[in-house]
Structure 1
Amino acid sequence: MIHRKEMNMLKSALRTLVAAALVTGTLAGCATSDSAAVYSKGQMRQAQNVEFGTVVSVQNVLMEGNNNELLTLGGAALGGIAGSTIGQGRGAAAGTIVGALAGGFGTQAAQRNLGTKNALEITVKLDRSGRMLSIVQEADIPFAVGQRVKVLTGGGNDRVAPL
């Protein structure tokens, strides 16, 4: 039989886990954009090479969310705190360990799943060299086979943009 004190501790632990899940979900949604139409502040006023080409293939893919170690650590800490309220003595220690593992793994999974985006793998044949290249970027701009595009490269932020 569960005593009132234990029930209150379980309710408190559950509230903590729900709050952690909400914070994790909110922060995972604040990830940076991988869109060809969005530039970070650090990319401003940076020269990029421009080549023109033709789209030869467009493939729908999924872009996995990023893992933020600080969020994972926070999830583990909150899970450990919540787990420590279960039992007494060795039971509380075991609850802390299990809660920390569950919180850490749960936070990692939430980051991967909540941050997953639809993306496109765009293969382009460049006009000048005839070279083929493929770039994966967020699927917020539609592309079609045969479409004329420009490919911007430089600084590790390559992108395909319509003409």
Structure 2
Amino acid sequence: MDKLKVLAVLLVSLVLAGCASSKSGDVYSRDQTRREMIVRTGVVESVREVTMEGTQSGAGTLAGAAVGGVAGSTVGGGKGQIVGAIIGAVLGGMAGTAIEENATKKNALEITVSLDNGTLIAVVQEMGEFFHPGERVRVLSGSGSTRVTH
């Protein structure tokens, strides 16, 4: 059973490592670098803390199903082992999905900005920089994303 625990820890670690990516205003993906971005300026109207939902890539489901299937197969003998493995895989998959989603949730900010041209926009990004109403900011858009920076 100790080998099963080690396997479970390794699989969950791989899932979490594979799902880690930042959506804060001060982190750029490789695809966003060396690309032109449109810069607009404005004033922060409001800032609200929100939660970005976690990922559901399927990796948590697969890892959970594998661990659950192995654990379930240790129950009973003969056909009981098969039934145990199937039930364990289903329950493990469900648990793996929930673990992945909860482990990858992020605290974020919804920043409402009144642009200098009069347009009012809202941008949600992972917490990093803090913003205050009345503060002048830059809004960068390009490569399919928008971020607010100082």
TM-score when scaled to structure 1?
A: 0.83
Q: CA deviation at 1:26?
A: 5.3
Distance 1:29 1:54 in 2: 37
- Matched AA of 1:56: E
Greater alpha carbon shift after TM alignment, 19-28 vs 62-71: 19-28
Three-state SS of the structure 1 residue aligned to 2:86 is helix
Q: CA deviation at 1:29?
A: 4.7
Mapped to 2, the partners of 1:72 and 1:17 lie a distance apart of 17
**Structure 2 runs not aligned, ≥5 long:** none
CA contact (8 A) 2:47 2:132 kept: yes
Given candidates 36, 39, 48, the residue that maps to 1:59 is 48
Is 1:92 the counterpart of 2:81? The answer is: yes
Whichever residue aligns with residue 143 of structure 2, its letter is G
> Contact conserved, 2:11 with 2:63, CA < 8 A, in 1?
no
Q: Percent identity?
A: 44
CA distance in 2, matches of 1:40, 1:133: 23
Q: Find the structure with the greater CA-based Rg.
A: 1
- Structure 1 unaligned segments of length 5 or more: list them: 1-10
- Native 8 Å contact 1:71 1:107 kept in 2: yes
Distance 1:17 1:104, change over 3 A: farther
8 Å contact from structure 1 (residues 25, 114) kept in 2: no
After TM superposition, give the deviation of residue 78 of structure 1 in Å. Answer: 2.2
Coordinate RMSD, CA, aligned: 1.7
